[in-house]
């Protein structure tokens, strides 16, 4: 479990996260939701130790993350940020290979190559392995970065808006894959989602942020209601049951 306690983040005198408490259960999918600017990406970056918090603590299985060396952390946690920095003259296969760095330090073994092949296949990139990143569509590039994180072979996967640019088939497939990774391999997945229906349909747990604070958090089925979601987004959201699934309606 990752536990966030009293976490705050201040930038140029502006409070971006304010005393955030949250538990991210191991072996589950946790969705971070909330309006634009709520602090979701900031929280993910702080958990990933990409920048220091202004106050509070984050623990992984009871251990303060600040005490874990970056090379050790990279074997436990893989991260795909919201802004994908595209080194354009990199081929898909090489990008996915970067995910093996914490294991191989650049000298790829047969085992690393097998992990790269598995990641390429898992994310439907078999036909694109030799393409340069700047020759891909946004969705293909998104999948290449997720494959890189997968190849890192960590217990924790942190993904900031992984459905960005994905068509509905690839978006649904990605969620189904993440679900399988959690259910069959015990992977712990934390992801920022905008589409409430993906959060409701696929996540176990939700942490809702608004204005840098936790609005609500807990098991999706218990805490995500029409009332809490409407308040979170300041727009009417109704949950309806359709074909046995709860669906968020917000186009009315």
Ligand X SMILES: Nc1ncnc2c1ncn2[C@@H]1O[C@H](COP(=O)(O)OP(=O)(O)O)[C@@H](O)[C@H]1O
List residues binding ligand X (CB under 6 A).
11, 16, 34, 36-42
Q: In a 10 Å sphere around its CB, with 0-12 CB exposed, 13-18 middle and 19+ buried, how is residue 103 labelled?
A: middle
Which residue, among 26, 23, 102, 116, has the nearest Cα to 68 in the 3D structure? 102
Secondary-structure percent of the chain, ordered helix, strand, coil, rounded to 5: 40, 30, 35
Say which entry of ligand X, Mg ion, none residue 99 contacts (CB below 5 to 8 A, set by partner kind). Answer: none
Minimum Å distance from CB 10 to ligand X? Answer: 10
Smaller CB separation from Mg ion, 97 or 162: 162
Smaller CB separation from Mg ion, 74 or 191: 191
Residue 230 in tokens: 């409407």
41: contact with Mg ion by CB under 5 A: yes
Residue least distant from Mg ion (Cβ):
41
- Residue 178: CB atoms within 10 Å: 21
Distance CA 252, CA 243 (A): 20
49: contact with Mg ion by CB under 5 A: no
Cβ 155 vs Cβ 183: under 8 Å: no
* Site track for Mg ion across 78-117, x = CB under 5 A: ----x-----------------------------------
Minimum Å distance from CB 142 to ligand X? Answer: 16
164: contact with Mg ion by CB under 5 A: no
- Residue 242: CB atoms within 10 Å: 8
Q: How many residues bind Mg ion (CB under 5 A)?
A: 3
Residues forming the site for Mg ion (CB under 5 A): 40-41, 82
């Amino acid at each position: 479990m990752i536990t966030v306690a009293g976490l705050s983040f201040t930038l140029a005198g502006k409070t971006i996260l304010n005393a955030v408490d949250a538990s991210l259960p191991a072996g589950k999918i946790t969705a971070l939701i909330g309006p634009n600017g709520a602090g979701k990406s900031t929280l993910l970056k702080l958990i990933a130790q990409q920048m220091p918090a202004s106050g509070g603590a984050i623990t992984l299985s009871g251990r303060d993350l600040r005490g874990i060396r970056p090379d050790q952390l990279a074997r436990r946690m893989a991260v795909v940020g919201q802004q994908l920095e595209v080194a354009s003259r990199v081929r898909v296969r090489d990008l996915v290979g970067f995910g093996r760095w914490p294991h191989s330090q650049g000298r790829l073994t047969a085992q690393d190559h097998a992990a790269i092949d598995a990641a390429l296949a898992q994310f439907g990139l078999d036909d694109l392995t030799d393409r340069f990143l700047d020759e891909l569509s946004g969705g293909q590039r998104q999948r290449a970065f997720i494959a890189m994180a997968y190849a890192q072979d960590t217990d924790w996967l942190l993904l900031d808006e992984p459905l960005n640019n994905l068509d509905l088939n690839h978006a649904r497939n990605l969620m189904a894959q993440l679900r399988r990774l959690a259910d069959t391999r015990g992977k712990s997945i934390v992801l920022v989602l905008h589409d409430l229906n993906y959060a409701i349909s696929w996540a176990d747990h939700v942490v809702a942020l608004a204005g840098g604070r936790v609005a609500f958090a807990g098991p999706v089925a218990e805490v995500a209601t029409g009332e809490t979601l409407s308040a979170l987004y300041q727009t009417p959201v109704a949950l309806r049951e359709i074909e046995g699934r709860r669906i968020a309606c917000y186009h009315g």
